[in-house]
Amino acid sequence: MKKKVEILAPAKNLFQGMAAINAGADAVYIGAPEFGARSNATNSVEDIEELVKYAHLFKAQVFVVVNTILYDKELDACKKLIYQLYAIGVDALIVQDMAIMEMDLPPIVIHASTQANNRDPKHVKFLADAGMKRVVLARELNLDQIREIRDASNVELEFFVSGALCVSFSGNCYMSIAGGERSANRGSCAQNCRLPYNLTDGTGKTLIANSHLLSIKDLDLSDQLPNLIEAGITSFKIEGRLKDLVYVKNNVSFLRKKLDAFLENNTSFQKASSGRTFYNFDAEMDRSFNRGYTNYFVNHRKEKIGSWESPKSQGQVIGKLVEIKNNGYVIENSDKLNNGDGLYFINENSEPDGVQINTIVNDVVIPNTFKPLEKGTMIYRNADAAFNKLVEREDSAIRKIGVKLRFSETIDGFQLTAIDEDGHKSISTIEINKELSKNGESIIENIKKNLSKTGNTPFIVDELEVDFSNNWFLPISKINEIRRLVLEQLIDVRINEYHRKEFQITKTNHPYPVAQLDFTYNVSNHLARAFYKRHGVTEIEKAFELQWDPGKSRVMTTKYCVKYELGKCPKFQKETMGEKLIEPLVLKNGANEYKLKFNCKPCEMEIWEKDAELTFDEDEF
């Protein structure tokens, strides 16, 4: 049996979730009223129920994120919500807090969120043995590490393939809560990583001024899909529950075409849902929000990945500025541009800047506000007005399910049988006095023409047979009526016959891979504590949110490395790095100040608050 491979899209709301499915998503993930890691992307249970019905029509799945850490006072409300989500047909929950595994739950499938820090084969196998049916792997992993995890367990593996990257290991960023009251693990990240910083060395010398030194490019692994499938990934996840409609439809459409090309005539893998999408636009990922792209570490550390100039969208490369003319710009490849487009560039003060195009006259781009630029400045388009308008249209991506129709006669009328691409069947009949065509001409072709008009239904007729013993006459109204009835019934049949996988979590006691948990395990309630203790953990530190020591805490661990970005990495750039940097390196933004510590053996960087006492050893490999 072929293995199913899916594209998993973000859904900010019901409308965008339906649009993602129309664009070709095999599954969507969406936030509930509470307990999601994006507090600005919540949805009512009623809206999620409507999305579930629409998704199941195409055999697509709906996953709900319940991936914040929970406090004791929230456990009952969380459990109640889970029962509601199960009752409306949600396919799975995506969770971080192990308290959920300790609850008395309905038989709903559980996925481990990337916030659960899924980087180690032993950890992933433990989660699988505890009843998790899928694990969302850490973004930092390379193909070799993914293979190791696959070999350790047969659990489903999900991996991010496009969208914004958290610079920190997911679930282990505490910059936001340490700097105020907003916890990333509680859905309220302040995005400190996107702020500008000054970088100073151990002597106080400023090495870099006013740059977004923790901001990194966006992820694009679209050309790695075959490699990821070979490594064991079966779900390709798009980041972006806060992104707009154009971003979602554009990313889903681009990846759908890429994946379909791989799956065509494939003997081992198949699409995870039904239907096919017809597009009225050409998807290109760089035409929606992006900070430039990186493949991150999937092929190990090979390139610089920082987006230091700006955390805002860079967009699509257009070309260099050729000259200034009549308070406008002559730009290479300006034929790509349209009135209303937004342009991005680095201005004369080395700052990210932009303008909007008012009009284009004789190849001169006239902006709404003229800004002087140096010849040779690279120009990007970060708002494509014509593209956005096209993609926003409902008919820019239409999804249809293939159906075979057979129209035949009965003793007292006619019968239409519809069988869809998945074998679901619907039959509708009409009783009518049969009359032969008066002019003697065959009306078969006319009947076929009208039966083929599926209009706004989710179906497209792939095969059509009319089986008559005589040249019967039927009014067009009757043909339309029986077609409408049989397709409406088929919608109900598909939804009612949808098979949701279920799994009842039972309490296990197999040993957790480690016996001591520090604050990075985010244990914030008594149920999570009980879960780990039953699995052999002897020491459990409270979550950062419950016990941090202001000014002295480690607030981030990351694979991203400022030394590497500067060309000063003693592990990979030893031959070209020149003089060593004098540590500690310090990041400063207003009153916020952080020390950097580099652990070269595991190839990681730690970020500590300013009052932390750190030791800086010679690099060891």
Q: What is the mean pLDDT of the chain?
A: 95
- Report the alpha-carbon distance of residue 370 to residue 354 in Å, rounded: 10
Q: Is the pLDDT of residue 25 over 80?
A: yes
Q: Is the pLDDT of residue 333 over 60?
A: yes
The mean pLDDT value for 587-613 works out to 94
Q: Residue 551: pLDDT band by 50, 70, 90 thresholds?
A: confident
Residue 84's pLDDT is: 98
User: Is-cis flag, bond preceding 511, omega within 30?
Assistant: no
Residue 572 gets which letter from DSSP? T
Q: Is the pLDDT of residue 124 over 90?
A: yes
Residue pLDDT, tens place only, 447-497: 999 999 999 999 999 999 999 988 888 889 999 999 999 999 999 999 999
Residues ≥6 apart with Cβ < 8 Å to 263? 5, 269, 270, 271
Q: Is the pLDDT of residue 12 over 80?
A: yes
Q: Is the pLDDT of residue 101 over 70?
A: yes
The mean pLDDT value for 156-182 works out to 93
Q: Is the pLDDT of residue 414 over 90?
A: yes
Q: Which of 244-253, 316-325, 546-555, 586-595 has the lowest mean pLDDT?
A: 546-555
Using the Cα atoms of residue 554, residue 560, residue 565 and residue 570 in order, give the sign of their dihedral: positive
Residue 617's pLDDT is: 62
Q: Is the pLDDT of residue 403 over 50?
A: yes
Q: CB neighbours (10 Å) of residue 526?
A: 12
**Burial (CB count within 10 angstroms: exposed 0-12, middle 13-18, buried 19+), residue 451:** buried
The mean pLDDT value for 352-376 works out to 94
Q: Is the pLDDT of residue 621 over 50?
A: no
Q: Is the pLDDT of residue 227 over 70?
A: yes
Residues ≥6 apart with Cβ < 8 Å to 272? 4, 5, 6, 26, 27, 59, 60, 61
Percent of the chain at pLDDT exceeding 90: 89
Q: How far apart are the first and last CA of the chain?
A: 45
Residue 214's pLDDT is: 97
- Report the alpha-carbon distance of residue 542 to residue 185 in Å, rounded: 14
Q: What are the Cα distances from residue 132, in Å, to 80, 93, 156?
A: 20, 10, 9
Q: Is the pLDDT of residue 553 over 80?
A: yes
566 phi, psi to nearest 5 deg:
-85, -5
- Pairing verdict, β 276-279 and 61-66: unpaired
The mean pLDDT value for 228-249 works out to 97
The mean pLDDT value for 156-173 works out to 96
Q: CB neighbours (10 Å) of residue 50?
A: 15
Residue 440's pLDDT is: 67
Using the Cα atoms of residue 517, residue 518, residue 519 and residue 520 in order, give the sign of their dihedral: negative
Q: Which one, of 121, 245, 172, lies nearest residue 558 by Cα?
A: 172
Residue 619's pLDDT is: 52
Residue pLDDT, tens place only, 51-98: 999 999 999 999 999 999 999 999 999 999 999 999 999 999 999 999
Residue 41's pLDDT is: 82
Q: Which of 86-95, 215-224, 386-395, 442-451 has the lowest mean pLDDT?
A: 442-451
The mean pLDDT value for 196-217 works out to 96
* Pair 50, 81: CB distance under 8 Å: no
Using the Cα atoms of residue 137, residue 169, residue 144 and residue 259 in order, give the sign of their dihedral: positive
Q: Is the pLDDT of residue 272 over 60?
A: yes
- Report the alpha-carbon distance of residue 45 to residue 31 in Å, rounded: 10
The mean pLDDT value for 333-343 works out to 95
Q: Is the pLDDT of residue 218 over 80?
A: yes
Question: Which residues on adjacent β-strands are paired with residue 200?
Answer: 206, 586
The CA radius of gyration of the chain, in Å to the nearest whole number, is 28
Residue 434's pLDDT is: 87
HEC assignment per residue over 48-110: HHHHHHHHHHCCCEEEEEECCCCCHHHHHHHHHHHHHHHHCCCCEEEECCCHHHHCCCCCCEE
- Report the alpha-carbon distance of residue 375 to residue 360 in Å, rounded: 19
Q: Which one, of 44, 385, 31, lies nearest residue 240 by Cα?
A: 31
* Amino acid identity at 92: A
Q: Is the pLDDT of residue 441 over 80?
A: no
For the chain, which domains are there?
Answer: 3-165+218-273+281-287 (3.20.20.60), 174-216+511-611 (no CATH), 315-392 (2.40.10), 401-496 (no CATH)
- Report the alpha-carbon distance of residue 59 to residue 27 in Å, rounded: 9
- Report the alpha-carbon distance of residue 57 to residue 87 in Å, rounded: 17
Percent of the chain at pLDDT exceeding 70: 99
Tokens 């977004």, located at residue: 212
Q: Which of 294-298, 348-352, 584-588, 603-607 has the lowest mean pLDDT?
A: 348-352
The mean pLDDT value for 402-426 works out to 96
